[in-house]
Amino acid sequence: MITACTTSAQDQAYDATNATIQAQAVSVDLPELAPDPALVTGTLENGIRYAILPNKTPPGRAALRVRFDTGSFNEVPGTGGLAHYLEHMAFNGSKNVPEGEMIQILERLGLSFGADTNASTGVDRTIYKLNLPNTDDEVLDAAFMLMRETAENLTLDEDAIDRELGIILSEKRTRDTSIYRAWEAYMGLLANGSDAMSRLPIGTEETLRAIQSDDFRAYYNAHYHPEKTVVAFVGDADPKVIEARIRETFGEWTGEGDAGDTLIPTSATPEASRVVVYEEDGLPTQVRLVSTQPYVKHEDTPEWRRERTLRSLAYGMMSYRMRALAEQVDRPFVNASMGRHSTFDLTEGPVFSAYTQPENWDRALRGLDTELRRALQYGFSQSELDAQLARLDASVKARAEGADTRATTSRTGGLTGALMSTFDNDRVFTHPSQDLARFEAMRETLTLDAVNTKLRSEWGDIEDLSVFIQTSDAPETPEAAVRSVLLDSRSTPVSKPDMSEDKPFAYEDFGTPGKVVSDRVVEDVDARLIDFENNVRLTIKTTKFQDDRVLLKVTFGDGMLSAPVRNEGMRRMALGVIQSSGLEEHEPDELRRILAGRLVASNAFTARAADDKFSFTTLTVPDDMLLQFQIYAAQLSAQAFRERARLNYIDKLKAWYPRHDATMDGVYSKHVLRRVYGGDKRFGFENEDQFYATELTKLEAWLRPQFEQGPVEVTVIGDIDPEVVIEAVAQTLGALPTRSSLDSPDSPSVAAMRQVSFGAQGDGPTIFRHKGDDNQAQLRIYWPANDGKDPLYARQLSVLRAVLRNRLVKDIREGEATTYSPGAGSHASTTFDGFGYVLAVLTLKPEDVDAMADKVRDIANDLASGNIDQDEFDRALKPIVERLDSTEKTNGYWLNVLDDAQSDGLGLTSHRSRASDYDAMRVEDIQSLAATVFDAERALDIRILPTEE
């Protein structure tokens, strides 16, 4: 244990006695927890639990999940990895579905492998996932049939098991990175003394190779059992119909014999004041202070949710403090935040973490220790709590107001993910309106004293905290060095934080509101196009896809085509400076405090290398729309360019850059696209110095005219009143000085920047080297294509990509078993004239690269010869077509359609031909396209291989 003297004030602050902890338990009449009224739940006679949640966003679509309450913790010794291996076998043959047919059945119904058909295995659960393109009987019949096959009828053929082994080992190699190994070391600290870390889902190569078919059958019969099964359905269907289907599909299932016992890991034995330093090349340097306490399972009650809210407020305020500190000159770390760990239901506790450069680990550790002691001694201020409460209040209200149009699935899980998490955590699935009522009832009890007391009780005695550091350059005698830094830090008293008063928001008046000079309606898409006298153009479409939600986008200038040189370093520096400089009258941290509780963004600037416009994009609510437009107008007219932001961004880059050569992804971002784009220096980079070279004066000289004079196009989509939008834009963007016209032709310099060329084929493969694991390699083959200014061509290219992807899965993943997830991509640029490509990408063992490159070329040549049959075409096309109707019911789709409606108009043109293009598409079209794209003489064979010894 590290010992150090503390002041008497600190002693008092850390004295979290029973009396002070009890003071948190304020008596308050909170609404009882009750499930969302729309949720239908039940248990079949055989023990299967089910949950059905009707949802019409988007209409016609649904998600089906089957969860088995078993994972790697139920594996017997010597079979590590079996649970995950079995998950793979669900796609490799069952009683009624021959091996290799499941994926094709789903593709014919409009599901895409990977995107709509997936599964996952954890330590205590295995989940099978189908995202359904519609709820027609044919689709529901197949989906439920396949889930029942998975539950009971897997054949687990020995030959199929042997074939799948290569895919499992490929997935293991893909995940076996320095980041993953550092995570294992960290989890080892948190789960100290338990055998949990030897029972993770991926297993070892030795155990995976040793698993026999009898092992699969024993595990399958014991743990794929009705009593351990949850069936969940979310989507646009009658709950009674789905309930009947669940009963019909699973009601007679009894399982083989008795359900197996659930095996749990041995208990952890947390040790106070441990130090663990994990070193490996390519790791970003992260420092963590962590409290490791025995895990306590809590019943989901209103009182417990209040305790979690107090914790969330405390952690949130601390993270905001750290964000402000990280924006100062000579800060101790690049960024820092406070959170919480819960490790395999063994241990739990708060975590305070920071990223920094390898040589600054000691400053980061000292900074974390100092700021934690400062918070524990002096607590937070009322103004900090008011700001955090405002943020929480706005978030809870927004969720309640938009609750009835939540998406069934999304990248972050959507409604389906939220429902499944309640089973993971044994929580009540409540409706956001219930959560809002509960928050309003408890709000008066969320006092400063309660939050400060909660923070102190969470952290306990700081002398007991452990330290975990991951880095690429550890100090000599790391444990002694860490303890020395902490001892020195804790001998230094902390001062009270300086909390200065904020001034009012300085950008509410932009002068005389702009005058509308043109207002017309585009009937076929029900959108209004408005022109202001100052050349600002506005497009509005009112939708009801998401209640109380508005998508705003402002595009301006010529984007990266306006850059004075072709330089990726300059682009990244532009992003860093603009996003971290704030406005001329407000520092970034002051802006965050002023805007607390409002659903707006002050750093939504985007500058992509292949875009011909800069943009701001924000999701907000109608009540905050005017404020968001005020922020946009302030950014265009009073954007700050602070040298401190430039210097701090260089610090971030220095922490980020060393990772590149250590991973395949890093080498890809550094080298591959530059090769594909014919050496164009807007893509990729060659050395570290180019990121630091751009001076602030040069950056401002380039960007200031783009912000203040560049043409502006505004798009507003969502639950809005068009007249309110027009008034808001008139008061803000429409009131700015006259801008350049959207109708102006490209300047000669911009026109020149539109020119790129596809990389020329070399004498052989282009090889780049990574310094990571020597058993990892990547093969990427690119074929040149045309640009996407003709929507039909771009759509045909996307279907060809799907054909290629399906063929790679069939012939390489399933046929050769050399790669876990072969990928295919297509790109048809609307910025660069004549530029596009189709791509195949495989992650492999180095020794397999040559053979698989030949296999990919054989596939491409076969496709080029016209060997694409009707079924293959249909299975590529249908998942695309099935999404057409549902994607049109989203605000994001219409933003993409309309964000250039008054300039290029490509989005509208593409939308208008979308249905007819796909309806008229024939297999012959794709055969013809394949013949032109898959030109072996122009293909780029790029390989990322381990560094040679």
Res 762: pLDDT: 86
Q: Which amino acid is at 561?
A: L
Helix (H) or strand (E) holding 828: strand 823-828
Question: Does 819 lie in the same domain as 716?
Answer: no
Closest CA to 356 of 332, 389, 322, 320: 332
Question: Does 46 lie in the same domain as 22?
Answer: no
- From 748, 777, 805, the end of a domain falls on 748
Residue 380 has pLDDT above 70, yes or no: yes
Question: Does 16 lie in the same domain as 122?
Answer: no
* Cα-trace Rg, the chain: 29
Residue 246 has pLDDT above 50, yes or no: yes
Res 21: pLDDT: 40
Question: Does 722 lie in the same domain as 824?
Answer: no
**Looking at residues 606-613, what average pLDDT do you find?**
95
Q: Do 339 and 315 meet the contact criterion of CB atoms below 8 Å apart? A: yes
Q: Do 90 and 119 meet the contact criterion of CB atoms below 8 Å apart? A: yes
Residue 424 has pLDDT above 90, yes or no: no
Res 26: pLDDT: 53
Q: Which amino acid is at 645?
A: A
- Cα–Cα distance between 127 and 785 in angstroms, integer? 39
Res 662: pLDDT: 86
Res 821: pLDDT: 85
Q: What is the DSSP string of 895-943?
A: HHHHTTTTTT-HHHHHHHHHHHHHHH--HHHHHHHHHHH--TTT-EEEE
Residue 265 lies in a domain: no
**Looking at residues 294-321, what average pLDDT do you find?**
96
Question: Does 742 lie in the same domain as 649?
Answer: yes
Q: Enter the tokens of residue 603.
A: 């750093």
Q: Tell me the per-residue pLDDT of 696-721, one tens digit each, with 9 for 90 and over.
A: 999 999 999 999 999 999 999 999 99
Q: Tell me the per-residue pLDDT of 498-546, one tens digit each, with 9 for 90 and over.
A: 877 888 999 999 999 999 999 999 999 999 999 999 999 999 999 999 9
Instruction: Report the percent of the chain where pLDDT is more than 90.
Output: 88
- Is residue 661 very low, low, confident or very high in pLDDT (cuts 50, 70, 90)? confident
* Angle separating helix axes 361-378 and 478-490, nearest 10 degrees: 40
Res 15: pLDDT: 41
Residue 498 lies in a domain: no
DSSP state of 470: E
Q: What is the DSSP string of 341-397?
A: EEETTTEEEEEEEEEE-GGGHHHHHHHHHHHHHHHHHH---HHHHHHHHHHHHHHHH
Q: Do 750 and 926 meet the contact criterion of CB atoms below 8 Å apart? A: no
**Looking at residues 2-7, what average pLDDT do you find?**
32
- Is residue 402 very low, low, confident or very high in pLDDT (cuts 50, 70, 90)? very high
Q: Tell me the per-residue pLDDT of 536-593, one tens digit each, with 9 for 90 and over.
A: 999 999 999 999 999 999 999 999 999 999 999 999 999 999 999 999 999 999 999 9
- Cα–Cα distance between 807 and 869 in angstroms, integer? 12
Residue 496 lies in a domain: no
Q: Tell me the per-residue pLDDT of 166-210, one tens digit each, with 9 for 90 and over.
A: 999 999 998 888 999 999 999 999 999 999 999 999 999 999 999
Q: Enter the tokens of residue 841.
A: 């990408």
Question: Does 397 lie in the same domain as 530?
Answer: no
Average pLDDT for the chain: 94
E strand map for 665-776: 712-718, 766-770
Residue 909 lies in a domain: yes
Give the SS3 label for residue 37. Answer: coil
Beta partners for 113?
A: 117
Q: Enter the tokens of residue 139.
A: 């689709």
Residue 224 burial (10 A CB sphere; 0-12, 13-18, 19+): buried
Residue 819 lies in a domain: yes
Question: Does 303 lie in the same domain as 157?
Answer: no
Helix (H) or strand (E) holding 838: strand 836-844
- Cα–Cα distance between 543 and 718 in angstroms, integer? 5
Q: Do 491 and 3 meet the contact criterion of CB atoms below 8 Å apart? A: no
User: Would you give the end-to-end CA distance of the chain in angstroms?
Assistant: 43
- pTM, two decimals, is 0.93
Residue 948 has pLDDT above 60, yes or no: yes
- Is residue 329 very low, low, confident or very high in pLDDT (cuts 50, 70, 90)? confident
Beta partners for 355?
A: 286, 335
**Looking at residues 210-226, what average pLDDT do you find?**
96
**Looking at residues 670-688, what average pLDDT do you find?**
94
Residue 382 has pLDDT above 80, yes or no: yes
Query: How many CA atoms within 13 Å lie on the side-chain side of 254?
Result: 3
Beta partners for 354?
A: 287, 336
Q: Tell me the per-residue pLDDT of 827-861, one tens digit each, with 9 for 90 and over.
A: 999 999 999 999 999 999 999 999 999 999 999 99
Res 27: pLDDT: 57
E strand map for 625-749: 712-718
Closest CA to 871 of 101, 91, 217, 47: 101
Res 499: pLDDT: 77
Residue 884 has pLDDT above 50, yes or no: yes
**Residue 606 domain boundaries:** 516-748
Question: Does 859 lie in the same domain as 711?
Answer: no
Main-chain phi, psi angles of 537, to 5 degrees: -110, 140
Q: Tell me the per-residue pLDDT of 7-42, one tens digit each, with 9 for 90 and over.
A: 333 333 334 333 344 444 455 678 889 999 999 999
- Is residue 411 very low, low, confident or very high in pLDDT (cuts 50, 70, 90)? confident
Closest CA to 435 of 398, 462, 470: 398
Residue bearing tokens 């201020």: 381
- Cα–Cα distance between 30 and 441 in angstroms, integer? 6
- Is residue 949 very low, low, confident or very high in pLDDT (cuts 50, 70, 90)? low
Question: Does 237 lie in the same domain as 380?
Answer: no
Q: Tell me the per-residue pLDDT of 106-157, one tens digit each, with 9 for 90 and over.
A: 999 998 877 788 999 999 999 999 999 999 999 999 999 999 999 999 999 9
Question: Does 921 lie in the same domain as 803?
Answer: yes
- From 700, 719, 748, the end of a domain falls on 748
Residue 555 belongs to domain with CATH number: 3.30.830.10
Helix (H) or strand (E) holding 648: helix 643-656
Our CA angle for 407, 411, 414, nearest 5°, is: 30
Residue 818 lies in a domain: yes
Question: Does 105 lie in the same domain as 22?
Answer: no
Res 16: pLDDT: 39
Chain centroid, CA 777 distance in Å? 25
Residue 655 has pLDDT above 90, yes or no: no
Cis, peptide link before residue 765, omega less than 30° from 0: no
SS3 assignment for 274-320: CEEEEECCCCCEEEEEECCEECCCCCCCHHHHHHHHHHHHHHHHHHH
Res 936: pLDDT: 95
Residue 443 lies in a domain: yes
- Cα–Cα distance between 133 and 410 in angstroms, integer? 14
Closest CA to 777 of 837, 852, 838, 677: 852
Question: Does 829 lie in the same domain as 731?
Answer: no
Q: How many CB atoms neighbour CB 187 within 10 A?
A: 19
- From 748, 777, 802, the end of a domain falls on 748
DSSP state of 463: G
By residue count, the chain amounts to 949
Q: Do 159 and 153 meet the contact criterion of CB atoms below 8 Å apart? A: no
Q: Do 661 and 770 meet the contact criterion of CB atoms below 8 Å apart? A: yes
Task: Look at phi and psi of residue 496 and say left if phi exceeds 0, alpha if psi is from -120 to 50, else beta.
Answer: beta
Res 927: pLDDT: 98
Residue 256 lies in a domain: no
Main-chain phi, psi angles of 358, to 5 degrees: -55, -40
CA distances from 875 to 115, 856, 883, 923 (A): 14, 20, 14, 11
DSSP state of 487: H
Res 938: pLDDT: 95
Q: How many domains does the chain have?
A: 4
Q: How many CB atoms neighbour CB 921 within 10 A?
A: 18
Residue bearing tokens 């429409």: 734
Q: Do 261 and 465 meet the contact criterion of CB atoms below 8 Å apart? A: no
